[in-house]
Amino acid sequence: MICIEKVTKSFPSKVVFSNVSITIKDKSIFGLVGINGAGKSTFLRCLTNVYNFDEGKVLIDNYDSSEAEVKNNIFFLNDDPFFLRTDTPLTLANFYKAFYPNFDEHYYRNMLTSLKIEEKGKVVNFSKGMRRQMFLAIAFSTNCKYVFLDEAFDGLDPLTRIIIKKKILEKVEENNLTVIITSHSLKDLEEIADSFAILDKTHLIDYGNINDKLEDFYKFQIAFDHDFNLSSFSDLHPHSYKQEGKVAQLIIQGKYEEIYQKLKEKNPILLESSNITFEEFFIIEIERNNYDIDSQELL
Amino acid sequence: MISIHKNYYKYLFRKLIPITVIASIIFIIANFIHIISVDLSEITTSTYIPYIPYDRRDSAIATITIVSCIYALFFPIYIFSYCFSKKKVDIYYSLPINKGSLALTSFLGGLTSIAISFTISYLLGFFVILAKDHTGVNLALYLPYYFIALILLLLTYMIGSSFALLGNNKTDVAIELILINLLPLLISYTLHNYVSDISRKFDNHISLDVLTPFVGIYSIIQSFGEFISYSYKPTFPLIEFQDCMFENAGNIYSYYTPYLASLILFIILALVLIPAFYYSTKKAKSENAALIQTSYYGVRTFYSILFYTMLTFVTNAVSNKDMMVFLYIAIIYISFIVLDMFRRRKISWTKRLTFEMIASLLYTIFLITFNFTYVTV
């Protein structure tokens, strides 16, 4: 289990995040999300001791995260990992073998074969997707209990994303891994992550179980045969409202039956409901935090 | 706790094998070029000197030592390159090894590589001396010389490593390492005129140039080279040394004093940098990797020292006899701005440049006034 207690990190020009506390359970896939520059990557770097927190502490399995014994169980894969021009998958494995005594070379070679990656090919000649898969193979071969993946899906084609998600889920299932993933691809995160945290404007604005949070919100499509606008739904306090002609889409938080009943009482000619996506939830949370999306779009 | 990471050391050792081999070849080639050039000069000048001065005969070894020391000074830029790139920092500092142990193991890996390259080339150099006319040298002394040279390499490597670990990027560190060799020489020659009366009393050997690591290294190599070639009269240098240190301590004109001063200063410099090395491994902020150095430690201050030294040098050399001094100052100032912009990797005017402009103007006026007074008096 990872216990992050009141951590703060600043750079000379700005505070990256302040007073953040999160608990991440074992055997979970944790999605860390936020807008660009929210401090997700810095947060992962601090967790892995690449950077030091200014304040607060991180306990991993009840030990300080800076202890080498704890770090034996942590693997951090940044968004664009370094390799030499002369490196091959095998030479890179030799490097990581020096530090991770439980590195499973047999598993690594099998994974390279299954991913159709040449063992002796030059990494520099690989596509971004192949490199990402190869580094993921390294991450899983180290047999670390905690794997931190920065921008895990970004810039990858849909097929590669499916392969990577499948591999992550397999490994979590087989080896009881705990994976922290930062990504802007919220759809992918929604598919595999069970818990999440949103960082914005130096603060943790929400965190918890994804399904629990999403079950709290409902998306309704509603149509009337007369004119209407947002004020027609003021009693329901919608988080999101979009209207095109006589059809509107609302996202409302609360108990489903109560909301449905109130909408039904307005005599719509169409009323349909569905669950919201993680992406919609993210936008709601960011807007709640006074982030003016409209003005950003104008920019 | 800082300790050696054995597995990483083994990995590093294997990784450095090609570089070790290439370095050995470079040292050997440098040595052979020197030997061939000495032999050719003897043939072309048609003079055979039965006793060839040490600096020609034994420079076979000295060349290897000097080239290795230059290599040892700059090699840490490669060894500690993980500090200069954000991508590398992400990988290396997230590994299960603390920063101190990573630095120490990398340091030892690089040191091993240098020591092996030096040993191979030294042995070959020694065989060349054996094959040639080696009358007038005591071959047995090549063994202690080898260990002394290893200590020199260690000290030089220590200096390079400290600067590499405290720096943020390769360019700044390379410039710092060049300037720590260049600045003491420049300052020494610049101040020479101002302190000429004093320096005449203390012999010209006693000047700030002994602070320059490579003057120190060269002096040490030279003195031990002499020791080897004079060894058919083995007591001679010892008596000189004893005279200098004990019996005739006031006689600082002794031939060996500058060498000793160099050695002592060089060792002090290296020793002072050990805490810096330790501190930098513990406290250096990895988020500064690849950034332009903004602290006053290192290259930023070195540039200012270089600038004011050059101003002093020109003002002193040209004196106030004509207006040419202003032309030279303008050239130096423009060079300084170009250097500063090169360091920052962007072209923009900063508050610091404005400050330097005003300060340098006042400084030049002061120097011209001082020069005038000094010359008049």
Q: What is the pLDDT of residues A143-152, one digit of tens each?
A: 999 999 998 8
Two tokens, residue B195 = 């302190």
pLDDT, tens digit, 9 for 90 and up, residues B138-148: 777 788 888 88
User: Model confidence at A292, in pLDDT bands (50, 70, 90)?
Assistant: low
Nearest CA in chain A to B92: A50
Asked if B10's CB is within 8 angstroms of A51's CB, the reply is no
Query: Residue B253 has what pLDDT?
Result: 44
Confidence band (pLDDT; 50, 70, 90) for B215?
Answer: low
Lowest mean pLDDT among A187-196, B38-47, B103-112, B235-244: B235-244
Query: Distance (Å) from the C-alpha of residue A226 to the closest C-alpha of chain B?
Result: 59
10 Å Cβ neighbour count for A287? Answer: 14
Of A80, A81, A99, the CB nearest to B7: A99
State yes or no: pLDDT of A157 exceeds 70.
yes
| Closest Cα in chain A to B3 | A68
Q: Does B236 touch chain A (CB under 8 A)?
A: no
First to last CA, chain A: 42
Rounded to a whole number of angstroms, the distance from the CA of B309 to the nearest CA of chain A is 32
Question: Does pLDDT of B58 surpass 80?
Answer: no
* pLDDT, mean of residues A126-154: 90
CB B78 within 8 A of CB B106: no
The partner residue sitting opposite B93, judged by closest CB among A11, A49, A95, is: A49
Q: What is the ipTM of this complex?
A: 0.86
Considering only A270-274, B83-87, B119-123, B270-274, which range has the smallest mean pLDDT? B270-274
Mean pLDDT comparison of B7-11, B50-54, B166-170, B191-195, highest-scoring range: B7-11
State how far the Cα of B224 lies from the Cα of B234, in Å rounded to an integer.
12
Residues on chain A touching B88 (C-beta within 8 angstroms): 82
Mean per-residue pLDDT, A255-271: 88
Q: How far is A91 from chain B (nearest CA, A)?
A: 10
- Joined together, the tokens standing for residue B250 give 């006031």
| Minimum-distance CB partner of B98 among A68, A80, A81 | A68
CA distances to A46, A52, A59, A207, B168 from A7, rounded to whole Å, are 9, 10, 11, 15, 26
Q: Which residue has the higher pLDDT, A161 or B195?
A: A161
Average pLDDT for B95-114: 92
Which phi and psi angles does A235 have, rounded to 5°?
-65, -20
Query: Does the structural domain A2-209 have CATH classification 3.40.50.300?
Result: yes
Distance CA(A95)–CA(A81), nearest Å, equals 13
Structural tokens at position B178 = 């060049």
Between residues B41 and B93, the one the model is more confident about = B93
- Interface residue B13 vs chain A (CB under 8 A): no
Any idea which fold A215-298 has?
Alpha-Beta Plaits (3.30.70)
CB B80 within 8 A of CB B164: yes
**What confidence score (pLDDT) does residue A148 get?**
94
Distance from CA of A162 to the nearest CA of B (A): 26
pLDDT of res. B239 = 44
**Alpha-carbon gap: B87 to the closest alpha carbon of chain A (Å):** 5
What's the count of helices (H) and strands (E) in chain B, helices before strands?
15, 0
What radius of gyration, in Å, describes the C-alpha atoms of chain A? 22
Asked if the model's pLDDT at residue B296 lies above 60, the reply is yes
Nearest residue in chain A measured CA to CA from B88:
A82
Where along chain A do its domains lie? 2-209, 215-298
> Is there a contact between A200 and A35 (Cβ–Cβ < 8 Å)?
yes
Tokens found for residue B314: 């020109």
The verdict on A99 touching B (C-beta cutoff 8 Å) is yes
Asked whether the beta carbons of residue A51 and residue B88 sit closer than 8 angstroms, the reply is no
A71-95: burial string, b at 16+ Cβ within 10 Å, e else? bbbbbbbbbbbbbeeebbbeebbeb
Distance, in Å, from the CA atom of A189 to the CA atom of B366, rounded to the nearest integer, reads 68
Mean pLDDT of A70-80: 90
Q: What 8-state DSSP symbol labels residue A32?
A: E
Bridge partners for A222 per DSSP: A248, A271
Asked whether residue A79 carries a pLDDT value surpassing 60, the answer given is yes
* pLDDT above 50 for A298: no
pLDDT recorded at residue B80: 93
Q: What is the pLDDT of residue B243?
A: 47
Residue B35: which pLDDT band, with cuts at 50, 70 and 90?
Answer: confident
CB burial of residue B36 (10 Å; 0-12, 13-18, 19+): exposed
Q: What CA dihedral angle connects A206, A207, A208 and A211, to 10 degrees?
A: 60
CA A248 to chain centre: 30
Does residue B120 have a pLDDT over 90?
yes
Tally A–B CB contacts below 8 A: 61
Q: pLDDT digits over B336-377, tens only?
A: 778 777 777 777 777 777 887 888 888 877 777 776 555 443
Asked whether this chain's domains A2-209 and A215-298 adopt the same fold, the reply is no
Residue A80: pLDDT over 50? yes
